[in-house]
Amino acid sequence: MTIAVCLKCGHMKFGAWTPCEKCMHQPEELEDRAKHLILSDHYYTHQDLEQYAQRVAQGEKWFFGEKETRNFINELAKAERQEAVVKESWDLIKEYRQDMAEEELAFFEGLPEYSQAVTARLALYQQYQTRLETANQLGGWAATEAEFQKLLDEDPRLRPLQIHRINKKDGDGWMVTHP
């Protein structure tokens, strides 16, 4: 079990995001959760953590640079976003795997779960792509965008794909991306 330091009172506690037994503080905000994760035995020895705990108890608020802390917070936010995408993509991934040859499947399974979700979702989008092409020929960008919104409503598994307008020599183009 994770050992961490409560940043409110300096108590050594079990679990970075669990409530502190001493002061009851429970990190919920992203930044607070990130900071409690940094000050845990994922990154520091017990000895180090005890020293940080003492410093918190003496009133110090934080120990690391703003930039590196901000980077860590951003990484955590990204990981959580990706985790959420993966969580809602399992059915899609399962369906995508069905038609795969054994060799392809071995490669696919070696990808990180988030990449699997992105691959499966973009493949699903490919099935609808001609509809966007038709809309684009008939009504340009406005029609393409409207058709894309329609697709998202019809098949919510396509969420959170996004459409972007791109300028091409021969008229309006578009690009669909997975955030």
66, 68, 71, 75: CA torsion to nearest 10:
-130
Single residue of 8, 97, 165, 178 touching Zn ion by CB under 5 A: 8
Nearest distance in Å: CB 24, Zn ion = 7
Under the binding rule (CB under 5 A), the answer on residue 12 touching Zn ion is no
* CA gap 88, 85 in Å, rounded: 5
Residues 25-64 that bind Zn ion (CB under 5 A): 25
Instruction: Select the span of 9-17, 70-78, 80-88, 125-133 touching Zn ion (CB under 5 A).
Output: 9-17
Tokens of 114: 């988030």
Instruction: Select the span of 6-14, 76-84, 140-148, 151-159 touching Zn ion (CB under 5 A).
Output: 6-14
Single residue of 14, 19, 23, 68 touching Zn ion by CB under 5 A: 23
Under the binding rule (CB under 5 A), the answer on residue 20 touching Zn ion is yes
Under the binding rule (CB under 5 A), the answer on residue 152 touching Zn ion is no
| Residue 167 dihedral angles phi and psi, to the nearest 5° | -85, 130
- For Zn ion (CB under 5 A), the number of binding residues is 8
Instruction: Select the span of 19-27, 28-36, 126-134, 137-145 touching Zn ion (CB under 5 A).
Output: 19-27
Instruction: Select the span of 7-15, 102-110, 122-130, 131-139 touching Zn ion (CB under 5 A).
Output: 7-15
Single residue of 19, 22, 43, 75 touching Zn ion by CB under 5 A: 22
Residues at the site binding Zn ion, with contacts judged by CB under 5 A: 6, 8-9, 11, 20, 22-23, 25
